[in-house]
Amino acid sequence: MVATSVKRYSFEEYCQYDDGTNTRYELENGYLQAMTPPSFRHILIADKLGDILKLEIIRLGLPLYCLREAGLRILYEKSRIADLMVISKDKVMEKLDGAGIYQATPSLVVEIVSPESVTRDYRYKRSEYATIGVPEYWIVDPKEGKVTVLVFNEGLYDETVFVGEEKIVSPQFLELDILPQVLFQI
């Protein structure tokens, strides 16, 4: 991801920005940063995990959505595009016709690590999501074959790493039944 703008944008300007291309941008301290397109592996893992989470939400009858690649406002001049987010239906309905950028705290955020996003997903997003109190943050790492589940606790994240045939434990979805090795099978 590289900075693509010289001009600083407010969050409101970012929400309205359209350069006429299909390029997706995050807002980083007021500057637009173009996102590189994900690999097919990344897309397929996001689809698989998204489908699993959606089915669990439906099974439990929860008033939530699981959305792919929606925006998430972090700070005044910062917005990320999350691979997956579990968010409140009510909050979405309040802003239904606005920009697809969630401005409340999601229940769960999932980021799938790409070669160019390792530091961003493990380090920067971890602190950014803690800043807004995201209760659960998953880092899904296909190259390492692991899923790191971070649970917000007194201002910091406690982390548990799941590999192979270890059932992923999610405080948000206690009955979820998924193994990292299954998630990475394409």
Per domain, the residue ranges of the chain are: 38-183
For 165, residues 6+ apart whose C-beta sits below 8 A from its C-beta are 179, 181
Q: Write down the pLDDT at residue 85.
A: 97
Per-residue pLDDT of the chain (186 residues; tens, 9 = 90+): 555 668 899 888 898 898 898 888 989 888 999 988 899 999 999 999 999 999 999 999 999 999 998 999 998 788 899 999 999 999 999 888 888 889 999 999 999 999 888 888 999 999 999 999 999 999 999 999 999 999 999 999 999 999 999 999 999 999 999 999 999 998
Q: How many other C-beta atoms lie within 10 A of the C-beta of residue 146?
A: 17
Q: In this structure, what are the phi and psi dihedrals at residue 17, rounded to the nearest 5 degrees?
A: -65, 135
Q: Write down the pLDDT at residue 116.
A: 85
Would you call 132 exposed, middle or buried from its count of C-beta atoms within 10 A (0-12, 13-18, 19+)? middle
pTM of the full predicted structure? Answer: 0.90
Rg (CA), the chain: 16
Q: Write down the pLDDT at residue 4.
A: 63
Q: Write down the pLDDT at residue 131.
A: 93
Range 38-183 classified under CATH 3.40.50.300: no
For 99, residues 6+ apart whose C-beta sits below 8 A from its C-beta are 15, 16, 71
Strand locations in the chain (E): 2-3, 25-28, 31-34, 64-68, 71-75, 78-81, 84-88, 101-102, 108-112, 136-141, 146-153, 156-163
Tokens read off for 127? 């602190």
